[in-house]
Structure 1
Amino acid sequence: PGVWDVAAKDNRGIMDVAVFRLSKKYPRANSVMTHNLPDGGHVRVASGPDGMASIWDYDIVLMGVSHLTEAMNRYRAGLGEKPGRSFRPHVSEILKFCRQSDGGRQYEAVEAALRRLKQTTVEIVRRQRGKDGRPLRVTEGAGLINDYKAVSHEDSGRVTSVEIELPKWLYAAVVEAEHPEVLTMHPNYFLMTPGLGRFVYRLARVAAGKGEARWSFRLIHERSGSPDAFKKSSAGIRELIKANELPEYDLAEEPGQDGPILVMRFRGSFPTPSTDTAGP
């Protein structure tokens, strides 16, 4: 298959926190989001002068994860070489993978997305115990992509190809891990327009899987990094419940001790290729 025609994959390690902005309205340049973790650590997302990468920009990272997964499946089957951290898709392949139209302005948008992805850094702080029992604070940080190069026609400005270097943490999770930390995304994910809807689908995919999960509205609001008030965020969740258009998951609301609860229930199967063996 072409690079754009493989099953979409995501790194399950960061699917329950927003490492990007969910709104196209707020660029969030030079800003910071912090998500607290149950172990006492946190995830810190910082943006650069061109704005924070959006959940739509992150589609390019999904393409990188999908490329690595497909290449590793072929490598394990003896059908290809072990992939490196860099891949070189044609811009038209990026647009097809992300289910975007192949227009001139879309090519410009790809270059802008790459710029934001490079400038958006993710720092994960975890607390754990050392071998001697003493508490440790472990900090890891990297960009959503490590580097990129874009080639374009000088007379028209039309981007023809790009080279993207994926960060070490992402490469390690897919290529070097004994059990790759990837999950298959439903193809209709790319057709979803609300950023909150995309985030809730990612959450359902990693938390509910092929079963059921319950998350409080309050925690979803915090993990989504939304700059909106909790009341407005709750209204957005209720709109998703009313529409019930998430791929493969039904949504419902239940009362909870500390506020409303979102129930996410799996209802179907994922259309995956027969060669898809790297993740659930």
Structure 2
Amino acid sequence: MSHERAARRPRTYLNIDFDKKDHAKRHGAQWDVQRKSWYVLGDVPAELVNYVAPDPLQASLGRLHARVAEAEERAKSTLRRPPPGDEQADFFVPTLYDVATKDSRSVMDVAVFRLSKKDKRAGETIRYELTDGYVEVKAGPDGMASVWDYDIVMMAISHLTEAMNRYRNGRGEKPGLAFRPHVSEILKFCRRSDGGRQYEEIEGALDRLKNTTIKIVRTTRKGRGSRLMREAQAEGLIGNYKTVSYADTGRVAMVEVEIPGWIYREVVEAENPEVLTVHPAFFLIEPGIGRFLYRVARRAAGKGEARWAFRTIYERSGSAGTFKEFCRILRGIIAVNDLPEYSLSEIPGKEGPTLVIAHRDAVPSIESAQAEGG
């Protein structure tokens, strides 16, 4: 019976070096021939506590718990991790800009791209009604350009703005419509990894950008007593493009993109061009809705504060999901509250729940302070 009780007692394995084996034996340690390790049965004597080996199962569970905690922490953030080598400045990366002049304001107020990675929305049209007209986003057969595809457009805006700044300062020639970035520069600028799959995605992104057209219709009356005029203008998110790839690997060696006229006119030909600087972490915002919120906030809130009813944000986002699902995602982003530069909060409003986006350096309004204080 005593042998059976001993067999049922738990074994605790020890990390014992050869020169400590006599010390272990004196305090009841036994040798396991199969595992080639010393162990004790039952309670571990005080003299051997410092030699206890980690439990493999517990160690494995500990590592699993650590990975789960890390995954949960990442899930709480709207920002993905920067890719490896992100800090290395292999190429000239200009300040990030977006257009913000009067003619582009309608484009910045609505989503001229899809916010979902899964739903390609090929052949679909999104229409946004505005006070003086409407904006239509029409997708081609390859699908509607996504907010992540639009990174390439923002890169073109940024390079064009930098080139114009040099031209105005007498340090360079006036830029043309052709934009020739190195493909690695595109990935670097958009803060994405330099993997083979990313190279394959460049051409797909360019197809969607070229075949997604933006039609802006405005109705205006110029001067007192003049007739009401309707003006319509439609262009792609980019013009023509050309790529050259290595036939054996499929990797892109050269990219040439034609900057669309609506961008060129606003950055190069406008008398007083107005462009907005954008935080570099914009490219790390993972949810499409988060990117849309930042872009709208950058124009409307600036260094202060702006408010929109949830319903208004939903309608301007062009979301294909339900309003209920949109609100769930939006409240998740508000709870995390880690968008670059801007803090998010929800307050009640006349038209239902209202989103408040405020620059983190701005003085909060009385209503926002009261809402935060409960």
TM-score tier by shorter-chain length is over 0.9
1:10 aligns with 2:98: yes
Report the count of equivalent residues. 268
Shift in Å at residue 182 of structure 1? 1.4
Aligned partner letter, 1:112: G
Cα displacement string for residues 71-112 of structure 1 (whole angstroms, at most 9, x for unaligned residues): 001111111101001110000000000001011110111111
Q: What amino acid is aligned across from residue 99 of structure 2 in structure 1?
A: N
1:171 counterpart residue number:
264
> 1:98 matched to which residue of 2?
190
In structure 2, the residue matched to 1:214 is 307
2:204 pairs, out of 105, 112, 135, with 112
Q: C-alpha distance in 2, partners of 1:73/1:172?
A: 15
Tell which deviates more after alignment, 44-53 or 148-157.
148-157
In structure 2, what is the Cα distance between the partners aligned to 1:176 and 1:2? 31
Task: Name whichever of 179-188 and 260-269 sits farther off.
Answer: 260-269
Describe the superposition over 1:128-164 as per-residue Cα deviations: whole angstroms up to 9, x where unpaired: 0144521111100000001100011112211111000
**Higher helix fraction: Structure 1 or Structure 2?**
2
User: Residue in 2 aligned with 1:265?
Assistant: 358
Corresponding residue to 1:155 among 248, 264, 287: 248
Structure scoring higher RCO (CA < 8 A, sep ≥ 6) equals 1
Deviation at 1:2, TM superposition (A): 7.8
Q: Provide the C-alpha distance between the structure 1 equivalents of 2:206 and 2:91, rounded to a whole number of angstroms.
A: 18
The alpha-carbon deviation at position 181 of structure 1 amounts to 3.0
Match of 1:196 in 2: 289
Give ranges in structure 2 of 5+ residues lacking alignment: 1-88, 363-374
Measured against aligned partners, the alpha-carbon deviations of 1:38-71 in whole angstroms (never above 9, x if no partner) come to: 22x0000000110000000000000000011000
1:137 matches 2:225? no
Q: Secondary structure in 1 aligned to 2:319?
A: coil
1:261 is paired with a residue whose SS is strand
Deviations 1:228-275 (A, max 9, x none): 111111111111110001100011111111111100110149xxxxxx
Asked if structure 2 preserves the Cα contact closer than 8 Å seen for 1:4 and 1:94, the reply is no
Q: Which structure 1 segments of 5+ residues have no match?
A: 270-280
Distance 1:82 1:108 in 2: 32
- Partner Cα separation in structure 2 for residue 69 and residue 130 of structure 1: 31
Tell me, in whole angstroms, the C-alpha distance in 2 between the residues paired with 1:100 and 1:246: 18
Q: Distance in 2 between matches of 1:113 and 1:227?
A: 20
Larger Rg: 2
Alignment partner, residue 276 of structure 1: none
In 1, distance between residues paired with 2:335 and 2:306?
18
2:126 match: 33
Moved more, 140-149 or 260-269: 260-269
Residues 93 and 136 from structure 1, CA distance in 2 versus in 1: closer, same or farther, beyond 3 angstroms? same
Rate the CA distance shift 1:72–1:3 in 2: closer, same or farther, 3 A.
farther
Deviation of 1:8 after TM superposition, in Å, equals 0.9
Code of the residue aligned with 1:8 in structure 2: it is: L
Greater shift, 10-19 or 168-177, is seen at 10-19
Task: Quote the residue 1:47 is aligned against.
Answer: 139
**Aligned pair 1:62/2:150, yes or no?**
no
4+ residue stretches of structure 1 with deviation over 4 A? 1-4
Query: What's the counterpart of residue 180 of structure 2?
Result: 88
- 1:116 and 1:8 map into 2 onto residues whose CA distance is 22
